[in-house]
């Protein structure tokens, strides 16, 4: 959990363009809620990176983490669907590659 709290803090500092020391870490409860919005840790890290590029830290009007929690809840489903679609494309590609590598049956000629 401390890793997620540190990651949240670092992303907020990066997004605000301020030293890490100027950003307080979210409390454990809100960090758990933010993580809980995601079904996969990779989705959390993808979302976290997007908070920097989308300027979440600049949009936040207080030092609290409520905007991040709301955003996590709003973005989690879309990230999950994108990840699952990508996984399906990769599986389909792998199946197609395996199919192409199988020897073609001879027709008895």
What confidence tens digit (pLDDT) does each residue in 25-60 have?
Answer: 999 999 999 999 999 999 999 999 999 999 999 887
What value does the mean pLDDT of the chain take? 90
Tokens 């907020």 correspond to what residue?
12
CA distance 70 to 60: 11
Instruction: Give the model's pLDDT for residue 85.
Output: 94
Pick left, alpha or beta for residue 27 (phi over 0 → left; psi -120 to 50 → alpha; otherwise beta). beta
Concatenated DSSP letters of 37-102: T-SSHHHHHHHHHHHHHTTHHHH--SSSSHHHHHHHHHHHHHHHHHHHHHHHHHHHHHHHHHHHHS
pLDDT higher at 20 or 1? 20
């Amino acid at each position: 959990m401390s890793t997620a709290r540190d990651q949240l803090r670092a992303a907020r500092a990066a997004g605000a363009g301020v030293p890490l020391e100027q950003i307080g870490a979210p409390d454990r409860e809100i960090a758990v809620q933010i993580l809980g919005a995601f079904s996969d840790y990779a989705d959390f890290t993808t979302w976290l990176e997007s908070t920097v590029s989308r300027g979440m830290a600049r949009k936040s009007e207080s030092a609290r983490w409520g905007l991040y929690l709301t955003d996590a809840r709003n973005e989690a489903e879309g990230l999950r669907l994108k990840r699952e679609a990508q996984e399906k494309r990769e599986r389909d590609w792998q199946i197609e590659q395996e199919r192409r590598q199988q020897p073609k049956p001879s027709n008895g000629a």
